[in-house]
């Protein structure tokens, strides 16, 4: 005595004098893709997710306390009308989105001599008809020139306040002043003068070594004596 699941007003359960169940439950998901080629290599690129698909076979038997013909024809009519509802399994939603019955096929119909339905198997196919967050899949269109499309409001980032701009400009001015003072400081001038002197001594030493080698001292080491 347990309730297996339910969908669209149909309760699949087993009781003392009633049994309405299903078999071959399948849940299918996939992606729509397109092929692209790069460096002579073809590969698939995902375009969008396909709707979730659920399949099952409902077992209806008049000997188990159900009206096999009425239940089967109701499922077929709901498929023609695109009926949608949540599918519950063990009291919980199988998926967060509603499922639309898109196909119902009555097979293996067993009849009595008078034409009454004894048993039937109804194969069902249901497709996701809403987002996975549980919202409806059909968006109502509104009037006007917008064509029913929702307007999306985009917030423009606030511009920096005047105080921030002034602070940045003040920092830039302070840096320029500091750089100018360092550039023109006596210490910087002294360093430049010393560097020029060292360069002059080095150039003189190179000229002396070249002259000493040309004068016949190329076989030995050249020595340079610097005096004040």
User: Tens-of-pLDDT digits for all 228 residues of the chain?
Assistant: 688 999 999 999 998 889 999 999 999 999 999 999 999 899 999 999 999 999 999 999 999 999 999 999 999 999 999 999 999 998 999 999 999 999 999 999 999 999 999 999 999 999 999 887 655 544 333 333 344 444 444 455 555 455 544 554 555 555 555 555 545 555 556 556 656 665 666 666 565 555 555 555 554 444 444 444
Rounded Cα distance between 171 and 174, Å, is 5
Chain centroid, CA 43 distance in Å:
20
Q: Which residue ranges make up each domain of the chain?
A: 2-32+43-128, 188-217
Q: Which residues contact 64 (CB under 8 A, 6 or more apart)?
A: 18, 19, 20
Helices vs strands, H then E, count in the chain: 3, 11
């Amino acid at each position: 005595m347990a309730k297996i699941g339910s969908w669209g007003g149909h309760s699949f359960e087993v009781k003392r004098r009633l049994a309405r169940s299903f078999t071959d439950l399948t849940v299918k998901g996939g992606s729509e893709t397109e092929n692209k080629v790069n460096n002579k290599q073809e590969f698939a690129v995902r375009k969008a997710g396909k709707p979730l698909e659920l399949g099952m076979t409902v077992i209806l038997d008049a000997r188990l306390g159900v009206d096999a013909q009425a239940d089967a024809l109701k499922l077929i009519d709901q498929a023609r009308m695109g009926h949608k509802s949540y599918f519950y399994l063990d009291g919980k939603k199988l998926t967060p989105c509603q499922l639309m019955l898109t196909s119902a096929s009555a097979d293996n119909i067993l009849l009595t001599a008078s034409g009454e339905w004894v048993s039937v198997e109804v194969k069902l196919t249901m497709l996701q008809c809403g987002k996975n967050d549980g919202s409806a899949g059909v968006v109502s269109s509104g009037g006007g020139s917008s064509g029913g499309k929702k307007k999306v409001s985009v917030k423009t980032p606030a511009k920096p306040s005047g105080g921030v701009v002034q602070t940045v400009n003040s920092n830039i001015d302070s840096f320029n002043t500091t750089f100018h003072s360092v550039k023109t400081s006596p210490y910087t001038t002294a360093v430049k003068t010393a560097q020029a002197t060292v360069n002059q001594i080095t150039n003189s030493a190179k000229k002396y070594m070249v002259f000493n080698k040309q004068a016949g001292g190329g076989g030995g080491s050249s020595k340079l004596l610097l005096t004040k």
